[in-house]
Structure 1
Amino acid sequence: MNLQNLDLNLLVIFNQLHTDGSVSVAAEKLGLSQPTVSNALRRLRTLLNDELFLRTTKGMEPTPYAAQLAEPIAYALNTIQRSLASPASFEPAASQRTFTVAMTDLGEIELLPPLMRALHELAPGVTLSTVRNNRDSLRDDMEAGQVDLAIGLIPQLKTGFFQQRLFMQHYVCLFREGHPLDGSRLTRRRFYEAEHVVVISTGTGHDKVHEIIDSAKEKRRVSLYVPHFVALGHILRNSDMIATVPERYALRSAQPFGLRYLPHPIKLPEIGINMFWHAKYHREPGNQWLRQLIFKLFSGA
């Protein structure tokens, strides 16, 4: 028999009939009329090609086939009932779950220290794994549940995704202490004449900022391209190069690497940093909990 042809309500009535052995008693307990229960029994007899229950002096007695079906049907109905009555939940303090979050290395520098402190306090058994948020498979990985959240400016995540703004960031010029630009006003001319190191972050907001800088009639002198921010502090500390970076990164890097920064002389747009998640997991308790924690930590910060 094809399950598509089976009404779940028929199994509920079957289970009640088997328990009570009476059409009238089953109807009363289910809040149905006797004709409704009798009609359901007729439909079941036709679908299963068996009498199922026979009238005797002791009431409605199950046939051998009905007796065989009774236990698995009762088990299945009980399982469904428990599942619907007990909505899924997430207990952070007891969880051993691994969450995967897509972000840039800049996001790791900015977000991971406070996030890991919060996880250590609230969910010590939880593990966090990061992947890059500009990889080609990100959309499919998030739909499949292999990546729980993505953070950044990620224009390719639109249809089928929710997003929430965390904060805005603007850009500054970063260089070493004692640099010829240190202590002076950074003009547009001096910016383009300086020696530059550029972080290439394809598919992110940083990429768009560099497009604006390079669209001007002036041309900057780029001596070095790097694919990430990790080495930038070391590079700037030991050279006369300058870099265009988000102010948050400049704040984090200035003291450890002996760096300075100035307002950017080029009018650059603020970049919105958003958190993304797939619609399939919008109500998944663990995903909800991690989103709420990240938003609480970084929203408007």
Structure 2
Amino acid sequence: MKYTIKIHSILAIALSLFWPLVAQPANPVIDSLIHLITYDSYVAHFDSLRTNNGHFRKVIEAEVQSADHDACRDYIFRSMQHVLGAENVSLHKFETGNYKGLANVIGIKKGSSPDCGFIIISAHYDSNNSNETQLTNCAPGANDNGTGLAALLEIARVLSEIETECSVIFAAWDFEEQMMYGFPVGSNHWFSHFVRNSKKKKADEVFPIKRKEIIANINFDMIGNPMETLDGKLVLWACLGNRSHKKFIDSYITIFNEYTQGISAINGGMIPYSDHYTFAARRIPAVENLESGFSDDPYYHTCNDNIENEKNINFSFATEVTRGGLAYILSQCLLKND
């Protein structure tokens, strides 16, 4: 891969003894587009996502869900409508057992080439509190998963402003925090009802697509609290160790690291949790963008996972993770002449 070096050659020789050379990204169009996502535009989503101390988006066994759960869902819905158009966004309502009032928010941006396929970008919007004494009073989920939702909405905003060759589906999943039949509930419901297998009859659902049309799933789940011992690292998780998945992850890491600054992505291996697993288990390339510190995060699934907690989220890190994810998406779906 060729790089264009900004420093003049003579000066570079002298400076190289002290500083590494700074390379330009391969595609300046991609570089300029990802920087439409700013720290301020990313952080601006959090109050409306109901991530403050005391907010509660945990799915409960009831006829209706909490006011915070529904307000978060409605904000995502309105935000997608604003950038994608009302006709391209829908609520996919569902229920399971005694859990009612659930809905995935799905938006679509159609590409210029019907043969290019779909990239699915996703994040879940329900939250959790695993402390038995606090099951009903708070679950703000600022990092888990307000950070992923802000990434989803920012990427939708930028992609809505440009023409792409491939189509993109934006999915805010409900009820990720509980697994049923081995899968997160919301994403598995959508896949089961809206992705048609070639052996089945044509579905009459909204946005039906064929399994073979899905290029990849890019999932964002907890991207705001990197572990100190892996400072500046984003851990990418896959599920299946087959050749196509490895090639996909390697490509994602290469592009992510080429366009981001101050952080880098590493391959964490396989993890059969979160919404990317819905796709990976069906042999569709999928990646989980997940912070390096989730296993040691003292605020994980507690009331302290809120935006008032200054130790909770590194917003600069999360903003850069969002840019890196967008860089990969643009590398796959930009028009060839861009």
Q: Tell me which interval the TM-score lies in, with the shorter structure as reference length.
A: under 0.3
State the TM-score, normalized to the length of structure 1.
0.21
- Highest Rg: 1 or 2? 1
Structure number having the greater helix percentage: 1
